[in-house]
Amino acid sequence: MGEGNGDWLRVRGIGRERFATYLADYLATLGYAVRRDDSAERNESRLTGRLDRANPAVPPAAASLAFRFYPTSGGAAVVWEAPAEMPPPELGRMDRLVREISSYLERAISTESHATAKVIRPSVPRLPWAASPANGAGEPSRPGAPL
Protein backbone atom coordinates (compact mmCIF):
# COMPACT_ATOMS: atom_id res chain seq x y z
CA MET A 1 0.00 0.00 0.00
CA GLY A 2 1.28 3.44 -0.80
CA GLU A 3 0.37 7.00 0.01
CA GLY A 4 -2.36 6.96 -2.60
CA ASN A 5 -4.06 4.02 -0.91
CA GLY A 6 -5.24 5.69 2.26
CA ASP A 7 -2.18 6.41 4.41
CA TRP A 8 -2.80 8.98 7.07
CA LEU A 9 0.83 9.19 8.25
CA ARG A 10 4.11 7.47 7.50
CA VAL A 11 7.27 7.12 9.54
CA ARG A 12 10.85 6.40 8.55
CA GLY A 13 13.36 4.84 10.90
CA ILE A 14 11.04 2.77 13.13
CA GLY A 15 8.80 -0.22 12.51
CA ARG A 16 5.05 -0.64 12.65
CA GLU A 17 5.05 -2.12 16.17
CA ARG A 18 6.91 0.85 17.63
CA PHE A 19 4.80 3.32 15.63
CA ALA A 20 1.62 1.67 16.97
CA THR A 21 3.00 1.88 20.52
CA TYR A 22 3.50 5.65 20.24
CA LEU A 23 -0.09 6.15 19.10
CA ALA A 24 -1.49 3.74 21.71
CA ASP A 25 0.34 5.55 24.50
CA TYR A 26 -0.99 8.94 23.41
CA LEU A 27 -4.57 7.72 23.04
CA ALA A 28 -4.39 6.37 26.59
CA THR A 29 -3.44 9.85 27.85
CA LEU A 30 -6.54 11.24 26.10
CA GLY A 31 -8.77 8.81 28.01
CA TYR A 32 -9.09 5.93 25.53
CA ALA A 33 -9.02 2.26 26.49
CA VAL A 34 -6.73 0.89 23.79
CA ARG A 35 -6.63 -2.58 22.28
CA ARG A 36 -3.86 -3.67 19.98
CA ASP A 37 -3.65 -6.74 17.76
CA ASP A 38 -0.41 -7.63 15.96
CA SER A 39 -0.48 -10.14 13.14
CA ALA A 40 2.70 -11.67 11.78
CA GLU A 41 0.74 -13.53 9.09
CA ARG A 42 -0.79 -10.37 7.62
CA ASN A 43 2.21 -8.26 8.63
CA GLU A 44 0.07 -5.55 10.22
CA SER A 45 -0.99 -4.13 13.55
CA ARG A 46 -4.50 -2.98 14.39
CA LEU A 47 -5.22 -0.46 17.09
CA THR A 48 -8.66 0.36 18.43
CA GLY A 49 -9.60 2.82 21.11
CA ARG A 50 -12.80 3.43 23.04
CA LEU A 51 -13.15 6.63 25.03
CA ASP A 52 -13.52 5.65 28.71
CA ARG A 53 -12.81 8.98 30.35
CA ALA A 54 -14.71 12.13 29.34
CA ASN A 55 -12.51 14.54 27.42
CA PRO A 56 -13.94 17.81 26.06
CA ALA A 57 -11.28 17.86 23.31
CA VAL A 58 -12.68 14.66 21.80
CA PRO A 59 -15.83 15.05 19.69
CA PRO A 60 -18.61 12.51 20.36
CA ALA A 61 -18.16 10.93 16.92
CA ALA A 62 -14.56 10.08 17.89
CA ALA A 63 -15.58 7.99 20.91
CA SER A 64 -14.31 4.93 19.03
CA LEU A 65 -11.19 4.99 16.87
CA ALA A 66 -9.53 2.36 14.67
CA PHE A 67 -6.16 2.35 12.90
CA ARG A 68 -4.18 -0.13 10.81
CA PHE A 69 -0.37 -0.09 10.68
CA TYR A 70 1.74 -1.85 8.10
CA PRO A 71 5.45 -1.91 7.27
CA THR A 72 6.93 0.09 4.42
CA SER A 73 10.40 0.28 2.97
CA GLY A 74 12.41 1.81 5.80
CA GLY A 75 9.51 2.41 8.15
CA ALA A 76 5.77 2.06 8.57
CA ALA A 77 2.46 3.65 7.62
CA VAL A 78 -0.87 4.07 9.38
CA VAL A 79 -4.36 4.13 7.88
CA TRP A 80 -7.09 5.86 9.89
CA GLU A 81 -10.06 3.48 9.57
CA ALA A 82 -12.71 4.77 12.00
CA PRO A 83 -14.71 6.84 12.44
CA ALA A 84 -15.58 6.75 8.76
CA GLU A 85 -18.02 9.66 8.88
CA MET A 86 -18.02 12.89 10.84
CA PRO A 87 -21.09 15.05 11.40
CA PRO A 88 -20.41 18.58 10.06
CA PRO A 89 -20.83 20.27 13.48
CA GLU A 90 -17.99 18.10 14.86
CA LEU A 91 -15.51 18.63 12.00
CA GLY A 92 -13.69 21.52 13.67
CA ARG A 93 -13.07 19.63 16.89
CA MET A 94 -12.06 16.51 14.97
CA ASP A 95 -9.60 18.45 12.79
CA ARG A 96 -8.02 19.85 15.93
CA LEU A 97 -7.79 16.37 17.50
CA VAL A 98 -6.14 15.00 14.34
CA ARG A 99 -3.60 17.86 14.35
CA GLU A 100 -2.84 17.27 18.04
CA ILE A 101 -2.28 13.55 17.51
CA SER A 102 -0.07 14.18 14.45
CA SER A 103 1.99 16.82 16.26
CA TYR A 104 2.44 14.58 19.29
CA LEU A 105 3.65 11.70 17.13
CA GLU A 106 6.11 13.95 15.29
CA ARG A 107 7.57 15.34 18.53
CA ALA A 108 7.71 12.04 20.43
CA ILE A 109 9.23 10.02 17.61
CA SER A 110 11.81 12.67 16.76
CA THR A 111 12.77 13.24 20.40
CA GLU A 112 13.03 9.61 21.47
CA SER A 113 14.91 8.55 18.36
CA HIS A 114 17.31 11.52 18.65
CA ALA A 115 15.97 12.74 15.29
CA THR A 116 16.91 9.54 13.45
CA ALA A 117 13.23 8.67 12.85
CA LYS A 118 10.78 11.02 11.20
CA VAL A 119 7.00 11.26 10.73
CA ILE A 120 6.01 12.13 7.17
CA ARG A 121 2.63 13.69 6.45
CA PRO A 122 1.25 13.11 2.97
CA SER A 123 0.52 16.22 0.93
CA VAL A 124 -3.19 15.33 1.12
CA PRO A 125 -4.12 13.65 4.41
CA ARG A 126 -6.26 10.57 3.91
CA LEU A 127 -8.99 10.69 6.52
CA PRO A 128 -12.14 8.64 5.90
CA TRP A 129 -14.61 11.42 6.64
CA ALA A 130 -12.86 13.97 4.39
CA ALA A 131 -14.65 12.63 1.29
CA SER A 132 -17.82 11.53 3.07
CA PRO A 133 -21.06 12.70 1.39
CA ALA A 134 -22.39 13.43 4.90
CA ASN A 135 -19.78 16.19 5.15
CA GLY A 136 -20.82 17.87 1.91
CA ALA A 137 -17.86 16.45 0.06
CA GLY A 138 -18.42 14.70 -3.17
CA GLU A 139 -15.97 13.14 -5.49
CA PRO A 140 -12.59 14.84 -5.25
CA SER A 141 -12.02 17.38 -7.99
CA ARG A 142 -9.62 16.48 -10.76
CA PRO A 143 -7.39 18.99 -12.53
CA GLY A 144 -9.10 20.09 -15.72
CA ALA A 145 -12.49 18.73 -14.65
CA PRO A 146 -15.47 21.04 -15.15
CA LEU A 147 -16.73 22.75 -12.02
Which pLDDT tens digit goes with each residue over 106-134?
Answer: 888 888 766 777 888 877 767 777 754 44
In a domain, 67, yes or no: yes
In a domain, 143, yes or no: no
In a domain, 116, yes or no: yes
In a domain, 100, yes or no: yes
In a domain, 145, yes or no: no
In a domain, 85, yes or no: yes
> 138: pLDDT confidence band, cut at 50, 70 and 90?
very low
User: Could you tell me which of 74, 73, 76 has the C-alpha nearest to residue 44?
Assistant: 76
Average pLDDT value for the chain:
80
The predicted-structure confidence for 65-81, as pLDDT tens digits, reads as follows 999 999 988 888 888 99
How many domains, the chain? 1
Instruction: Give the domain CATH number at 13.
Output: 3.30.310
In a domain, 146, yes or no: no
pTM of the model: 0.79
Domain that holds residue 92: 3-128
Residue 123, phi then psi, degrees to nearest 5: -60, -35
In a domain, 133, yes or no: no
User: Could you tell me which of 22, 72, 16 has the C-alpha nearest to residue 44?
Assistant: 16
The predicted-structure confidence for 5-39, as pLDDT tens digits, reads as follows 578 888 888 888 888 999 999 999 999 999 999 88
